[in-house]
Chain A
């Protein structure tokens, strides 16, 4: 089946499910009474994702590049193992640990989200760079590219689709994990979700859950568009540009 059609079906089913839940909980009016909070907390939510995800992209890509350089290659596996372990720790536990060091509020939430986003980005950067054909890179050197020119003109543009996929996964997951920030007073749509649960107020809960889901879907869509824009048609993975031979 066409992957685009499949994605359309999944998103459609999700929205239908949310609408059904909304109707069951007393209709749109009940949810919309929280619209001021929804807007305000959505902004906070987006900020949480961006302020943790932005640094995670920069740090993750740089770390991924560093780990694939010839001189640092032997540290690659150990570092990846450490990151795997960090990611295996439940986010809630990381938030709790971070709270012990940084107190309550946004900082522990941002640290936890940052660590959570790091692994997929580093892993995809490393994989993206590692899968390039050695002969091609040697050819680039043989033509007289400096190491940084090889990186900027050949390695990164060619690894971009895989790196971008890692970024997309990391940020979309972060949107879903960010509600936990509420537990340390970090704000975001978690406020509505957890309060709604605690108060047995389904409408309040949905006022947080629906925008969270919508944010995740929108972000995913935007990032996939951005990737398409940035990736060269020569390596883009779609049918339209594949060989006419």
Chain B
């Protein structure tokens, strides 16, 4: 668990005092992905760098599992926190295998153990170890390089992962792919992750919890659903856009609204699956002017139906939004 308490950071720029962070409070429970969302220059990256102590705060503190990070040996602290940056930062003179093995090497693992770990991680991020272990970073595409960036951060199995716009420099297709793979991986690894992003869609897709930054403060925070459900909040509306109902539906699955079906459907109507998101369901419903569509399990049995009115009901029921700090 990571607790950030009343964190502030000021620095001098051209003789003028600049406030980068102005009293940040944030709590990330174990195993959650917290996205720090906001425009550039709002303090997200500074917050991240204070956690692994690349930046020293002027006030407040960060607790990891109840212990003040200021009390840790800084080198040891950093080796327990995985760090992924947008520029990837792979070392060009090291092979993929050596890059992944950097932190294990610092920790004194044997060559054999490092190699094995690198191979396991390569397989986990979807790259064939045989083909990629011996390559150099310049022989990789952007997406491959960032997969290895993530693998490198995970090498020593740190409980915490800090990710600074890790997929920001990728083309939309590889970004989607990496996000999906990352979510699959996280569902198994259960790391505590702080993830900086300026991409609203990415934030709502990845996050268990989102903190929206504005000018060095957290303007709003809450679960994605709660943020999207907070009607009549002009800040959220201006920030997220007026299609937030659709954004919200994208986070929900058909399985949440499926209900027993007591009448047969005519042939030729589109079929839904329980894991389809509700935005897709809505799109199909609206497109064909249906009131309901059948939902089939993977084994072909009928799971029930998804009704337009149920989707509307779901949007009406709002989760509560935590007050802004």
A-side residues, CB < 8 A to B, are 133, 135-136, 138-146, 149, 153-154, 157-158, 160, 231-235, 241-245
A contact residues around B76 at 8 Å (CB) = 144
B91 touches A158 (CB 8 A): yes
B contact residues around A242 at 8 Å (CB) = 138
List CB contacts (< 8 Å) of B194-250 with chain A. none
Kindly state the separation between the CA atoms of A4 and B99 in the bound complex, as whole angstroms: 32
B79 touches A235 (CB 8 A): no
Stretch in contact with the other chain, from B8-16, B82-90, B180-188, B302-310: B82-90
Q: Could you show 15 A-B contacts with beta carbons less than 8 Å apart?
A: A133-B89, A135-B86, A139-B83, A139-B87, A141-B54, A142-B78, A142-B83, A143-B106, A144-B79, A144-B106, A158-B91, A158-B93, A232-B93, A235-B92, A235-B136
Any A CB within 8 A of the CB of B69: no
Kindly state the separation between the CA atoms of A234 and B77 in the bound complex, as whole angstroms: 30
A159 closest partner in B (C-beta): B93
B-side residues, CB < 8 A to A, are 49, 52, 54, 75-79, 83, 85-87, 89-95, 102-103, 106, 136-141, 152, 162
Which one of A138, A234, A241, A243 lies within 8 Å of B54 (CB-CB)? A138
A contact residues around B103 at 8 Å (CB) = 143-144
A contact residues around B137 at 8 Å (CB) = 234
Which one of B75, B77, B85, B91 lies within 8 Å of A146 (CB-CB)? B75
A contact residues around B102 at 8 Å (CB) = 143, 145, 153
B79 touches A241 (CB 8 A): no
B141 touches A234 (CB 8 A): no
B149 closest partner in A (C-beta): A139
B contact residues around A146 at 8 Å (CB) = 75
Query: What is the total of A-B residue contacts with beta carbons within 8 Å?
Result: 80
Q: Which of B76, B77, B93, B140 has the most chain A CB within a 10 Å cutoff?
A: B93
B79 touches A158 (CB 8 A): no
A143 touches B138 (CB 8 A): no
Kindly state the separation between the CA atoms of A139 and B102 in the bound complex, as whole angstroms: 11
Which one of A135, A158, A235, A244 lies within 8 Å of B87 (CB-CB)? A135
B106 touches A145 (CB 8 A): yes
Q: How far is the CB of A74 from chain B (nearest CB, A)?
A: 17
B contact residues around A157 at 8 Å (CB) = 93
A245 touches B141 (CB 8 A): yes
Q: How far is the CB of B254 from chain A (nearest CB, A)?
A: 40
Known: A133-B87, A142-B83, A245-B139. A158 touches B92 (CB 8 A): yes
A contact residues around B85 at 8 Å (CB) = 135, 138-139, 142
B95 closest partner in A (C-beta): A234
Q: How far is the CB of A243 from chain B (nearest CB, A)?
A: 5
A234 touches B106 (CB 8 A): no
A contact residues around B93 at 8 Å (CB) = 157-158, 160, 231-232, 234-235
B contact residues around A160 at 8 Å (CB) = 93
B contact residues around A241 at 8 Å (CB) = 136
B contact residues around A233 at 8 Å (CB) = 136
Which one of A136, A144, A232, A243 lies within 8 Å of B89 (CB-CB)? A136
